[in-house]
Amino acid sequence: MRYSGLRVITEGLFGNRGWRPAWRDPAPKAEYDAIIIGGGGHGLSTAYYLARNHGLTNVAVLEKGYLGSGNIGRNTTIVRANYFLPGNSEFYSHSLKLWEKLELELNYNVMHSQRGLINLFHSDGQRDAFARRGNAMINQGDDAILLDRDGVRDLLPYLDFDNTRFPIYGGLLHPRGGTARHDAVAWGYARAADKRGVDLIQNCEVTGIDVQNGRVTGVQTTRGAIRAKKVGIVVAGRSSQVAAMAGLRLPIESHILQAFVTEGLKPVIDHVISFGMGHFYISQSDKGGLVFGGDLDFYASYAARGNLPMVEHVMEAGMTLMPMIGRARVLRSWGGIMDMSPDGSPIIDKTPVDGLYIDCGWNYGGFKAVPASGWCMAHLMATGESHEVARRFRLNRFATGHLLDEEGTGSQHNLH
């Protein structure tokens, strides 16, 4: 069924009786050409591009819960291409281009909104760093505008410009940055993959990976054994556990990241804004809620909830930057489990086990990467070669010293 405005009107006129489930609910087959473990954003987009770009349709996505129950449904939905290092820069640039055509591609409204992202800076040194980043973005073919204090004031008059402790010097504006509806991205890819013949199998936890003579032969699941010569591990915060099933030890530590949403308000914040002097960033959802967050709780964790010190810090930083939000009531807070790598950049690579591939290390920036990650992981699984824009996301780069340390904080998982 194609979705369209006409369809919505027609269905409305006839009592909405014509809508059908957006995807099938198939039982697992005994064997597939390829299995994707994990039905989050990256797993679903990988399956979709395997079918779309490489004609591989005898594919299953195995999800232990329901589709979209992981980080894909827990993030703060920022989509941007403002990376600095070669390796990251071309990858996120490719992803943003895919985002810009995603709704047509999937025939699904993912509410991608390029409302502009503004990273504030508060000192001469920070301004210089952002100017360099902006230049790197422009060199990559993306967009960046360095705003001075008055330029920021024109766009964001409600910030506290009288703050003398953290004065606002300006901001780096990335006009094509913005947000999208996270669940819709999972649902859109799920529906489009299903339409091309991919089996989406929910409530199916992978409990073992079968390896014979160094080659993967299939997986064990709570719904029985399934054979496949190619298996992709795409499980974000659970990467270490699933990789361990094949005897692998990963450069990943799982950490908790929290986020918050207020009651719905009239439109007041038109952009995505990040504070440069504390852990705080914010946008307003189309429903009106202020969606905001900060940084990791900083200790390894698998609890999908955080602790109060980071809650307090985020609230303080928000009040410092924009005191006007002080009267908004926070409705909910939650946490997600982040697969932190030692340099803050991801991994899309083969593993030492033949036929077993891994896509992980998304830290807290994997939402914007969903299209390009699926594109490149599918390319790798179908052709056996890294895609050009993901060629530096190697599993062994830590051993060889080819780190992609965007923030320059060194090999400590929680500092990225």
Ligand X SMILES: Cc1cc2nc3c(=O)[nH]c(=O)nc-3n(C[C@H](O)[C@H](O)[C@H](O)COP(=O)(O)OP(=O)(O)OC[C@H]3O[C@@H](n4cnc5c(N)ncnc54)[C@H](O)[C@@H]3O)c2cc1C
List residues binding ligand X (CB under 6 A): 37-43, 62-65, 69-72, 74-78, 205-206, 234-238, 242, 257, 259, 293, 336, 362, 364-368
- Please give the Cα distance from 260 to 315 (Å, whole number): 10
6 binding another protein? (CB under 8 A): no
Q: Is 253 in the site for another protein (CB under 8 A)?
A: yes
Partner whose binding site includes residue 299, from another protein, ligand X, none (CB under 5 to 8 Å by kind): another protein
Rg of the chain (C-alpha set): 21
Report, in Å, the least distance between residue 302 CB and another protein. Answer: 4
N residues, the chain: 416
The CA distance from 365 to 76, in Å, is 10
**Which residue among 217, 350, 398, 405 contacts another protein (CB under 8 A)?**
398
User: Does 250 interact with another protein (rule: CB under 8 A)?
Assistant: yes
Which of 13, 27, 30, 399 contacts another protein by CB under 8 A? Answer: 399
Which residues are within 8 A (CB) of 305 and not within 5 positions of it... i.e. 6 or more apart? 256, 258, 333, 334, 335
Angle at which helices 370-383 and 89-100 cross, to 10° = 110
- Is residue 295 within 8 A of residue 301, CB to CB? The reply is no
Indicate which of ligand X, another protein, none lies near residue 274 (CB less than 5 to 8 Å, by partner kind): none
CB 369 within 8 A of CB 75: no
Looking up tokens 């207020």 gives: 262
Backbone angles phi, psi at 95, to 5 degrees: -65, -45
* CA separation for the pair 189, 52 (Å, rounded): 11
x/- map, 298-317, another protein, by CB under 8 A: xxxxxx---x-x--------
Nearer to ligand X, 160 or 183 (CB): 183
Please list every residue from 223 through 242 that binds another protein, using CB under 8 A. 238, 240-241
Q: Is 109 in the site for another protein (CB under 8 A)?
A: no
Cite the beta strand spans of 269-381 per DSSP E. 272-274, 281-284, 289-300, 330-340, 347-350, 356-360
The listed partner (ligand X, another protein, none) that binds 414, CB under 5 to 8 Å by sort, is another protein
Q: Which residue, 138 or 303, is less far from another protein as judged by CB? A: 303
Query: If you count DSSP H runs as helices and E runs as strands, how many of each does the chain have, helices first?
Result: 11, 18
From another protein, ligand X, none, interface partner of 240 (C-beta below 5 to 8 A by class): another protein
In the chain, what is the straight-line distance between the N-terminal and C-terminal CA atoms, in Å? 43
Task: Tell whether residue 4 is a contact of another protein (CB under 8 A).
Answer: no
* Nearest approach, Cβ of residue 398 and another protein (Å): 4
Q: How far is CA 118 from CA 88, 145, 305, in A?
A: 20, 9, 28
Contact region with another protein (CB under 8 A), list: 46-54, 146-154, 203-211, 293-301: 293-301
Q: Where do contacts with another protein occur on this chain (CB under 8 A)? A: 238, 240-241, 249-254, 298-303, 307, 309, 342, 398-399, 411-414
